[in-house]
Amino acid sequence: MSLLTLAIDVGGSSIKAIILQDDCTNASARYLIHTPRPATPNVIVATLIDLIEKLGEYDRISIGFPSVVENGVTRGAINLHPDWDGFPLAEVLQNKLGKPIRIANDADIQGCGAIAGEGVELVITLGTGFGSSLFLNGKLLPNLELGQHIWRDRDTYEDLLGQAALDQVGMEIWNTRLLEAIATLYKLFNYDKLYIGGGNARLVNLALPPNLSDKVAIVSNDLGLIGGLALWYL
């Protein structure tokens, strides 16, 4: 029996949603709305409920969320609001909607849609902030938060590869920083493949060194939704 999966990608600047069939074909239109501010749990939950009601029939839900997620509980979301630290998002939505639901870090979900399932595969997402996920032979090592530890200004702790940094320094310097990050990640993880996704992946313009030229790929930001289907088969 084919199931319809409602996939939602919550980001710092926008929220995207679509209903997918098991073969990844669309069963609804693709919706995109701006992330409301202040992005507190009550505001986001109300926004999600309103959006879900517009999409039509579905059997289950997957949500990519921009924070560490442990058993459906969000552990901070620095691009949304401090009140997300410890919020039981899965339980709240389950009680309101009565449908099976899975929630994971948004970069983890994008990775689920991007990987080939062989060797060490690393995924980074470039958007409002910097996200990351890591897989070994198709198995997810969840909640990898590389952006919390590196590529931040030592004095201000601002994200050096996020949207605010891009707006401040421009594309050339931003791409230079990204190239340094790619090389550093290779030294750290010796990845077989690095996938670059997120809304700002379209702005990537790099001259990769020979040892990395076949190890780095740009992927569609739509994988943040398609990966929501793959999340049910991990």
The per-residue pLDDT for range 27-77, each reduced to its tens digit, is 999 999 999 999 999 999 999 999 999 998 999 999 999 999 999 999 988
Fold designation for 5-108: Nucleotidyltransferase; domain 5 (3.30.420)
Pinpoint the residues of the chain covered by CATH 3.30.420.40.
5-108, 115-224
Give residues with Cβ within 8 angstroms of 18, minimum separation 6.
6, 7, 26, 28, 29, 30, 31, 55, 225
- The whole-number pLDDT of residue 1 equals 65
- Taking phi first (over 0 means left), then psi (-120 to 50 degrees means alpha), and beta for anything else, what does residue 111 get? alpha
| Exposure string over 42-75, b if 16+ CB within 10 A, otherwise e | ebbeebbeebbeebeebebbbbbbbbbbeebbbe
pLDDT, tens digit (0-9, with 9 covering 90-100), for 176-228: 999 999 999 999 999 999 999 999 999 999 999 999 999 999 999 889 899 99
Report the 10 Å Cβ neighbour count for 118: 12
Fold designation for 115-224: Nucleotidyltransferase; domain 5 (3.30.420)
- Which helix (H) or strand (E) covers residue 183, if one does? helix 171-189
**pLDDT surpassing 90 at residue 88:** yes
